[in-house]
Structure 1
Amino acid sequence: MDFEPYRGELVAYCYRMVGSFHEAEDLVQDTMLRAWKARERYDASRAAVRTWLYRIATNVCLTALEGRARRPLPSGLGAPSDDPGAPLTPALDIPWLQPFPDARYDVERRADLRLALVAAMQLLPARQRAVLVLREVLEFSAAEVAEQLGTTVAAVNSSLQRARAAIADVGDPGEVPEPDDAEAREVVQRYARAFEAADVPALVRLLTDAAVLEMPPVPLWYRGRRDYGLFMERVFEMRGTGWATRQLTAGGQPALAAYAPAADGGHRLHTLQVFTVTGRRVARNVVFTDPRVFEAFDLPGEISQDEFGRGR
């Protein structure tokens, strides 16, 4: 039996469940190992291979999530800061939500991997989270989900109703532009040019009035054009001008890898920035500085002036 064709979608499923790409890969490896050991007991008359694998993956995820704290973003922990000069002290004891590196796996449904939705899912009880993803994203029937979770169809339908109500304020994933949406791509390209030039007024003009800037593992965050702009002024004062950027996607959202100018004329990796674009404006920018996030996206730690000059 060949389980490899299912690896990518299983990683995406486990990521939605646990909010960590690295952990999702480990959980899928555990799932594959369990499936291989149990292959002689697999009964094709009861379930398709894909359904059977999801049952194993669900049990693996539920076990991993027992007694586990949720993975948040800074905006899920408290009110926004009104001090753009506040100390940038990382909270390394918090298991922060991570972005999903689209280039690593071919996944059909990416809108359901966006950060806001995955963060909202972390608020749900683990089994309710599984029901929501299996039914709404992966489109298993209620009967299949009941079989996967060892429960009843009525219980599945009840859990789904509660989960839908709990994340209703996150919005419809279909309302969020895809990374290849021309207007969203243009907005991020304009943002990238302004960022490279350290042009704060140009950045601010691209923001919605209530734009959010957050920077895990630093727990503080900002809301609104004013504080966003003041914080960016602080960044450029500290790190200078002449930045480089590379565009990519994360969880179905446009993203930038930002490289700060270095003394040798090259650029060193500074952040991965994941954008929510609505109405031709940036509504949210989640800025990651975690080296493990950089590793997941296969980002080079440095790029030379020649590499930057050849285009991005």
Structure 2
Amino acid sequence: MLGSFQEAEDLVQETLLRAWKAADRFDSGKASLRTWLHRIATNACLTALEGRARRPLPSGLGGPGDPLAPLTPSLDVPWLQPFPDARLGDPAEAAQQRAGLRLAWVAALQLLPARQRAVLVLREVLQLSAAEVADVLDTSVASVNSGLQRARAALRAAAPALDELREPGDPGERAVVERYLVAFEAADVPALSRLLADDVALEMPPVALWLLGRAHYRAFVERVFAMRGPGWRLLPVAANGGPALAAYAPDGRAHSLQVFEVAGGLIRRGVTFVDPALFASFGLPAALGA
């Protein structure tokens, strides 16, 4: 709902505090405890989102740029953040949760009004019934169904097919990312290029610049190795329901989290979150030893 792991953690605390203060008013004859807590959490999110600018990725702010342009961070923009899959909870439900998380990630791009986003997340990600969602949002079942229809139509127009997002990941996607890891650590730019789709996109928040196409991606990676040198180390992680890599610069310090979209055996999009502070959310150290 919020597009920020840190803000979500804060609102979990807010939800529990509100529930504790209102516990004497909970009526088990009118709603389940689950629905009651979801209502509190959803209202906390909707309140937090009122009057707030959306959390974008660079591609949501303008057209692609030049791989040799200055890499100036835009620290005043509240950028969209990745979610660590390891925090999903019950491992027995992890596969279903990862499928839902991929859909939630698309919803978090904030292509939808806040209440439509709430309907989509409650129905499609958390799997609540239409009646439960109507209770959570204090509306009718017809309104929930209509809102879900509009939300899905909006996402189909702007994002990958929703049905594909609900399916388990391509068995080969992890292998593609592992080959990317090997090539990146070896500073092998030709090998990296062979793993990219022709129309691959590279985004690098908090830098507002983003790149489109294999040639620009390759030119940018060559620039990175020229500026920082070889000797990068990458650790496999999982984020947003898909494969990701945690990148440590040659000096051993945490640098960025690279999150990938893979299709047809090629990388279609890479979002490089250049924010070492995110590493703590993934249980990763701030630096690696020799």
TM-score range, shorter chain: over 0.9
Instruction: Decide whether the 8 Å contact of 1:178 with 1:252 is kept in 2.
Output: no
SS at match of 2:193: helix
- The one-character-per-residue Cα deviations of 1:45-104 (angstroms, maximum 9, x if unpaired) are 2111111100110111111110011111111111111x2110000111111000001123
1:126 equivalenced with 2:114 (yes/no):
yes
Deviating 4+ runs (over 4 angstroms)? 176-179
1:73 equivalenced with 2:57 (yes/no):
yes
In the other structure, the counterpart of 2:14 is: 30
Instruction: Decide whether the 8 Å contact of 2:107 with 2:117 is kept in 1.
Output: no
SS at match of 2:7: helix
The offset of 1:174, in angstroms, is: 5.1
Task: Show structure 1 runs of 5+ residues with no match.
Answer: 1-16, 306-312
In the other structure, the counterpart of 1:84 is: 67
Task: State how far apart, in whole Å, the 2-side matches of 1:33 and 1:110 are.
Answer: 28
Aligned pairs (5 A) from 1:141-180? 141-169=129-157, 170-173=159-162, 175-176=164-165, 178=168
Task: State how far apart, in whole Å, the 2-side matches of 1:139 and 1:104 are.
Answer: 18
In the other structure, the counterpart of 1:196 is: 185
Alignment equivalent of 1:249, drawn from 235, 238, 241: 238
Q: Which amino acid aligns with 1:131?
A: V
Task: State how far apart, in whole Å, the 2-side matches of 1:292 and 1:270 are.
Answer: 9
Task: State how far apart, in whole Å, the 1-side matches of 2:272 and 2:107 are.
Answer: 16
The offset of 1:172, in angstroms, is: 3.6
The offset of 1:292, in angstroms, is: 2.9
The offset of 1:299, in angstroms, is: 2.0
In the other structure, the counterpart of 2:79 is: 96
In the other structure, the counterpart of 1:54 is: 38
Task: Show structure 2 runs of 5+ residues with no match.
Answer: none
SS at match of 1:285: strand
SS at match of 2:261: strand
- Greater shift, 148-157 or 60-69, is seen at 148-157
Task: State how far apart, in whole Å, the 2-side matches of 1:143 and 1:182 are.
Answer: 36
SS at match of 2:200: strand
Identity of aligned residues (%): 64
Instruction: Decide whether the 8 Å contact of 1:111 with 1:174 is kept in 2.
Output: no
**How many residues are paired up?**
282
Summarize the Cα distance change of 1:302–1:90 in structure 2 as closer, same or farther, 3 Å threshold.
same
TM-score, structure 2 as length reference:
0.92
Instruction: Decide whether the 8 Å contact of 1:111 with 1:251 is kept in 2.
Output: no
Q: Which amino acid aligns with 2:289?
A: S
- The one-character-per-residue Cα deviations of 1:95-132 (angstroms, maximum 9, x if unpaired) are 10000011233164223323851344x12111111111
Aligned pairs (5 A) from 1:220-235? 220-235=209-224
